[in-house]
Amino acid sequence: MTSFWTLFSKELLRFIKVSVQTVAAPVLTSVLYLVIFGQVLEGRMQVFDGVRYTAFLVPGLVMMSVLQNAFANSSSSLIQSKITGNIVFILLAPISYAEFFWAYVAASMARGLAVGAGVLAVSAAFVELRLEAPHWTLAFALLGAALLGALGVLAGIVSEKIDQLAAFQNFVILPLTMLSGVFYSIQSLPGFWRGLSHANPFFYMIDGFRYGFFGASDVAPGVSLAIVATAFLAVALVCLLLLKSGYRLRT
Amino acid sequence: MSLAIEPGEFFGLLGPNGAGKTTLINVIAGLARADRGSVSVMGADVVADYRRARRMLGVVPQELVFDPFFTVRESLRIQSGYFGIRGNDAWIDEVMEHLDLTAKADANMRSLSGGMKRRVLVAQALVHKPPVIVLDEPTAGVDVELRQGLWQFVRRLNADGHTIVLTTHYLEEAELHCSRIGMLKGGRIVALDSTRNLLASVSGSRTTVHVMARDGTRHTLQIEGYARLERELARLRQQGVEIADIELERPDLEQVFLRLTS
């Protein structure tokens, strides 16, 4: 277990040492989203009865921050270690592939949740929020961060260059996040796009997370949680198999 | 190839670029997978029993790699933790002392010179006190002072019972420190013997003697054993040569290396 704790602590320290860039900057970005979209759309959109648009927006922005930063943590750490070569220190050590995977995922969860908590704390200063079912909020935050942390591990293993990782981030993670209902309810979409949104696992994370705040969602939270958990298990399995085989890590 | 390195040996792995030295080390260290065959470190298979094998092994990689987020001490503590060791500061301090790193303990890795970074790589390989230490080109691009200090420390570790496996381009280092040498070419072992036998193999029992005369002429003698030296010198004197200086040319690994690998 010491190996796992050390790798986990190292990954924590790595982002804490540059927390202005890894925590404060994404919090600021999300708050800017809140200020701009809230200002423009407040009073023009009503998603749930009795819920102001800015209040509707906050959980989506919080979850988006959790997801994007969890992904950024594991993926950037791995690709940097691979490119600079210091991944060798981990590869030479008696660390099992499961310890490797969980340490990166757990540290990614920590960063995702830290940024999410920051966005929530700052937003609470502007917007009156209520938490109807905090256990759902927590469950989706943890599982969503774990899924994106695992996706970051996957992208970090598969990518050999920074631009490959950037392509994964810009063409997969970002569109899936932005089209997951952060800024709107999928009920407002035309039928085709609504159907397509149901194929996006990020939608279930945002929707379930939001349920914890308002007690209302497009899909029952239990169903969403099962879908997110299945997606996590699938990604985790692929990561563990790749790590066991040494794919793109050991020649 | 089939190669067994005995516990406590100071073994040199030599060969031209591309001979397979680093590949072999990477297979031993688990950084590369062999297509076939097996490798064990102190009886632990590097694939099936990789955790035990890696605990037995300390590898100083050839590339000058470091983690720019951490200080020297943090890097060494982290490396200890990877090997399952907590509270290792006493040994970390000792290793830093021997490698003249104490003054830089709290310096960020980014701020260190190349030579200092190389010292940290050596220290990282030693934090878990491995019985087998693999040094892949440890003195490439480092100053004389570090070389001296490093060899002194490595020889002490060897005297304490650590097995040392060394690859180097500096053949005189291998000749000076290694008790046995394997030479690789094209992924195969082309020579495997004690350093003394390898040196003898290139020269046999012949010694080359260069005699410089006072008039500036130079005479080269090939003699079979030192017993014949006096007779040959006497012959030169009889020819009127006034001897100013004598130089004995000893065979070196470079000759062995060139003969076997060219």
Cβ(A177)–Cβ(A67) below 8 Å: yes
Phi, psi dihedrals of residue B180, rounded to the nearest 5°:
-140, 150
pLDDT of residue B203: 60
% of chain B with per-residue pLDDT over 90: 49
Pairing of strands B40-41, B44-45: antiparallel
pLDDT at B240 over 80: yes
Task: Please give the tally of structural domains in chain A.
Answer: 1
User: Does B122 or B205 have the greater pLDDT score?
Assistant: B122
* Secondary structure percentages of chain B, helix, strand, coil, to 5: 40, 25, 35
Of A2, A17, A92, the CB nearest to B29: A92
Measured CA to CA, the distance from residue A48 to residue A20 in angstroms comes to: 35
pLDDT level of residue B202 (50, 70, 90 thresholds): low
Structure tokens at A41: 């759309």
| ipTM for the complex shown | 0.89
Q: Please, what's the largest Cα pairwise distance for chain B?
A: 75
Of A151-160, A180-189, B195-204, minimum mean pLDDT range: B195-204
- Chain A closest CA to B147's CA: distance in Å? 23
pLDDT at B249 over 80: no
Of A10, A13, A250, the CB nearest to B32: A250
User: Does A64 or A50 have the greater pLDDT score?
Assistant: A64
Q: Which residues of A touch B29 (CB under 8 A)?
A: 92
B-chain residue closest to A6, CA distance: B81
Mean pLDDT of the residues in chain A = 92
* Cβ-defined contact of A92 to B30 (cutoff 8 Å): yes
Q: Tell me, yes or no, whether A192 lies in a domain.
A: yes
Q: Tell me, yes or no, whether A46 lies in a domain.
A: yes
Cβ(B196)–Cβ(B213) below 8 Å: no
Best residue in A4, A5, A6 for a mutation probing chain B (most B CBs within 10 Å): A6
Segment A218-241 mean pLDDT: 96
pLDDT of residue B89: 94
Q: Which residues of B touch A89 (CB under 8 A)?
A: 65, 67, 78-79, 82, 124
Give Cα A64 distance to the centre of its chain. 6
Segment A184-198 mean pLDDT: 83
Q: Which residues of B touch A90 (CB under 8 A)?
A: 82
Segment B140-148 mean pLDDT: 78
Q: Tell me, yes or no, whether A195 lies in a domain.
A: yes
User: Look-up: residue for tokens 């996040």?
Assistant: A177
pLDDT of residue A197: 86
Cβ(A105)–Cβ(A74) below 8 Å: yes
> What region, left, alpha or beta, does residue A50 occupy, with left being phi > 0 and alpha being psi -120 to 50 degrees?
left
pLDDT at A242 over 80: yes
Q: Which residues of B touch A17 (CB under 8 A)?
A: 69
Q: Tell me, yes or no, whether A250 lies in a domain.
A: no
Of A209-218, B118-127, B199-208, B224-233, minimum mean pLDDT range: B199-208
Structure tokens at A161: 């260059």
Measured CA to CA, the distance from residue B158 to residue A130 in angstroms comes to: 67
Write out pLDDT tens, residues B40-89. 999 999 999 999 999 999 999 988 999 999 999 999 999 999 999 999 99
Cβ(A61)–Cβ(A34) below 8 Å: yes
Q: Tell me, yes or no, whether A251 lies in a domain.
A: no
pLDDT at B227 over 80: no
Measured CA to CA, the distance from residue B45 to residue B41 in angstroms comes to: 6
Q: Tell me, yes or no, whether A19 lies in a domain.
A: yes
Write out pLDDT tens, residues A75-94. 999 999 999 999 999 999 99
Best residue in A92, A242, A243 for a mutation probing chain B (most B CBs within 10 Å): A92
Tell which residue, B204, B201, B220, has the closest CA to residue B212: B220
Mean pLDDT of the residues in chain B = 88
pLDDT of residue B251: 67
Q: Tell me, yes or no, whether A131 lies in a domain.
A: yes
pLDDT of residue A88: 95
Cβ(B163)–Cβ(B133) below 8 Å: yes
B-chain residue closest to A81, CA distance: B67
pLDDT level of residue B238 (50, 70, 90 thresholds): confident
pLDDT of residue A249: 92
Of A3, A85, A86, the CB nearest to B81: A3
pLDDT at B225 over 70: no
Write out pLDDT tens, residues B84-130. 999 999 999 999 998 889 999 999 999 998 888 999 999 999 999 99
pLDDT at B167 over 70: yes
pLDDT of residue A233: 98
3-state secondary structure chain A: CHHHHHHHHHHHHHHHCCHHHHHHHHHHHHHHHHHHHHHHHCCCCCCCCCCCHHHHHHHHHHHHHHHHHHHHHHHHHHHHHHHHCCCHHHHCCCCCHHHHHHHHHHHHHHHHHHHHHHHHHHHHHHCCCCCCCHHHHHHHHHHHHHHHHHHHHHHHHHCCCHHHHHHHHHHHHHHHHHCCCCCCCHHHCCHHHHHHHCCCHHHHHHHHHHHHHHCCCCCCHHHHHHHHHHHHHHHHHHHHHHHHHCCCCCC
pLDDT at A193 over 70: yes
Buried b / exposed e across B223-251, counting CB within 10 Å, b at 16+? beeeeeeeeebeeeeeeebeeeeeeeeeb
Parent domain of A143? 2-245
pLDDT level of residue B204 (50, 70, 90 thresholds): low
Interface of A with B (CB under 8 A): 2-3, 5-7, 9-10, 13-14, 17-18, 81, 84-86, 88-96, 246, 250-251
pLDDT at A171 over 90: yes
Cβ(A60)–Cβ(A182) below 8 Å: yes
- Chain A closest CA to B32's CA: distance in Å? 4
pLDDT at B191 over 90: no
% of chain B with per-residue pLDDT over 70: 95
* Cβ-defined contact of A86 to B65 (cutoff 8 Å): yes
Measured CA to CA, the distance from residue B170 to residue B128 in angstroms comes to: 28
Of B57, B79, B86, the CB nearest to A89: B79
Best residue in B35, B73, B82, B129 for a mutation probing chain A (most A CBs within 10 Å): B82
B234's enclosing H/E stretch is helix B229-238
Segment B144-148 mean pLDDT: 80
